[in-house]
Amino acid sequence: MSSYNPNTPLASERISDTQQPIRDNFFLANQYFGIDHFEFDASSNNGLHKQSTYPDRSGTPPSPGVSECSIYGRTAGSQTFPFLRRDGGTLDYPVAAIRAMVRVSTAPAVIGQSFNINAGLITFVDPVWTIQFQNAEPDGNYLVLVSPVRSSGSNFIQIVDGSLNVNNFQVRRTGPGITEIMVVVYRYSL
């Protein structure tokens, strides 16, 4: 199989002589575009995306014009995330700013859905939950928002000073009335 040739057919060539190169071009176009799009000959979904893939463009980020935006992949360490750059600017906005979330009891059982945290990664030694990430953060530069779900009295929760690191963080309750918390980990940059 040859590579894609944008010059096939030339104006001076007979169509019968260029049939195979034209077929090759269609095959290659379908193969390349078929990574993210449905195939050209699909009976439905023509032109729609199956997925959207953004390679690392950290070194050459896009430069959208005024009233335009670009989504691109940016990598730091070994993690690539989608970012948005808009309106002719140079400021990047994370498309997936939430890095982890969980609702957990003192059991410590996970209640409902969680993201980047599971029950096997959580310990509770009264009064502290230690919550570990499935995928580590590049550094401790992230925010943890915590809210009690079930409590009695006027008890409080707090992030343990100095506990934000790449693998885990700790949340302390100040009284026994809190038996369940919700946690969201947010990070602006990689």
Q: Hey, where are the domains in the chain? A: 1-51, 54-96, 98-186
The one-letter amino acid code at 181 reads I
**Spatial separation of the C-alpha atoms in residues 111 and 102, rounded to whole Å:** 8
Angle at 97 between CA 91 and CA 100, to 5 degrees: 160
Burial environment of residue 189 by CB neighbours within 10 A (0 to 12, 13 to 18, 19 or more): middle
**Average pLDDT of 4-22?**
82
pLDDT in tens, 28-86: 888 887 888 887 766 777 778 888 899 999 899 999 999 999 999 988 767 788 989 99
pLDDT in tens, 111-168: 988 889 988 889 999 999 999 999 998 888 899 999 988 666 667 889 998 899 999 9
What is the rounded (10 degree) CA torsion for 47, 51, 55, 56? Answer: 130
pTM for the complete prediction?
0.66
What pLDDT does residue 18 have? 84
Check: CB of residue 92 under 8 Å from CB of residue 61.
yes
What pLDDT does residue 96 have? 76
Check: CB of residue 159 under 8 Å from CB of residue 171.
yes
What pLDDT does residue 70 have? 93
Measure CA 150 to chain center.
30
What pLDDT does residue 154 have? 66
**Average pLDDT of 17-29?**
84
Check: CB of residue 25 under 8 Å from CB of residue 4.
yes
What pLDDT does residue 42 have? 64
Query: Strand 122-125 relative to strand 128-132: parallel, antiparallel, unpaired?
Result: antiparallel
Check: CB of residue 54 under 8 Å from CB of residue 75.
no
Check: CB of residue 119 under 8 Å from CB of residue 108.
yes
Q: Residue 27 — pLDDT band, cuts 50, 70, 90? A: confident
Check: CB of residue 169 under 8 Å from CB of residue 132.
no
